[in-house]
């Protein structure tokens, strides 16, 4: 009988031990699963909230504004936003703006995206002027300057002949475009970059005097001295 009782007790203890072991195992497994879940959740949340660099408009960028102007005029500000708030195609590198122009109005606080900027002709006149700068078309003839010798981007000194006197009119004027189809013997129209306050003066001189265009060096040009010549001074 003693042996029978001992066997029963031993069996009960063995069953209880297995139950405890299984309970501990279940707790450990649940803890492991909870740790894995929390790690994955934290990774997912931290990924969505990871600080991501973007460019944001500081002020209105009108449709057609050249990207180079957007950059040079500081029309944007670099900032960081949580990744979940960054728009698709958002720009982080201002180098992308080169050779492009705003495809629509971009408002203050708006993220700059690739779709906001379309490829642009960087040689177009409007992409080369800003602020008070203006572009004016001035005729050039084979006597006073050959358009075949002047290229877009060149700088010229402009002299005016009026009333028997030739004098420096404006130094260091940027040439924006030259005739694509030159007129007879190299004539045509040059488009020059001027200041808006000079527009009326340029228009008057172009209609009522002869203009001479003197090509400047590409680099290292010294300032042009103010000078003039008359028949008397030329014959001295």
Return the pLDDT at 31: 76
Report the alpha-carbon distance of residue 190 to residue 177 in Å, rounded.
6
CATH architecture observed for domain 51-119: Alpha-Beta Complex (3.90)
- What is the CA 227 to chain-centroid distance, rounded? 41
Against a cut of 0.75, is the pTM above it? Answer: no
Return the pLDDT at 197: 94
Report the alpha-carbon distance of residue 127 to residue 98 in Å, rounded.
11
Q: Scanning the structure block, which residue is given the tokens 């189809």?
A: 181
Buried b (16+ CB within 10 A) or exposed e, 1-23: eeeeeeeeeeeeeeeeeeeeeee
- The whole-number mean pLDDT for each consecutive block of 10 residues of the chain, a chain of 236 residues, reads 51 64 75 74 65 92 84 89 89 88 90 86 67 84 59 88 90 84 60 92 90 85 88 79
Count of C-beta atoms within a 10 Å radius of residue 164:
9
Return the pLDDT at 9: 47
Q: Where are the domains of the chain?
A: 1-29, 51-119, 126-235
């Amino acid at each position: 009988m003693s042996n029978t009782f001992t066997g029963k007790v031993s069996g009960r203890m063995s069953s209880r031990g297995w139950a405890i072991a299984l309970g501990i195992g279940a707790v450990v497994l649940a803890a492991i699963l909870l740790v894995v879940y929390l790690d994955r959740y934290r990774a997912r949340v931290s990924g969505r909230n990871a600080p991501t660099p973007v460019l944001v408009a500081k002020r209105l960028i009108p449709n057609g504004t050249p990207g180079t102007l957007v950059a040079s005029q500081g029309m944007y500000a670099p900032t960081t936003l949580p990744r979940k708030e960054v728009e698709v195609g958002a720009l982080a590198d201002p180098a992308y703006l080169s050779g492009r122009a705003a495809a629509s109005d971009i408002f203050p606080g708006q993220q700059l995206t690739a779709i906001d900027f379309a490829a642009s002709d960087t040689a177009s006149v409007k992409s080369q002027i800003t602020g008070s700068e203006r572009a004016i078309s001035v005729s050039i003839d084979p006597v006073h300057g050959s358009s075949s010798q002047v290229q877009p981007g060149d700088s010229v000194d402009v002299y005016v002949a009026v009333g028997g006197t030739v004098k420096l009119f404006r130094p260091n004027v940027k040439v924006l475009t030259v005739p694509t189809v030159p007129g007879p013997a190299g004539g045509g129209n040059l488009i020059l970059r001027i200041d808006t306050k000079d527009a009326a003066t340029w228009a008057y001189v172009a209609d009522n005097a002869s203009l001479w265009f003197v090509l400047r060096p590409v680099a290292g040009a010294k300032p042009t001295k103010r000078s003039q010549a008359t028949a008397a001074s030329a014959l001295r």
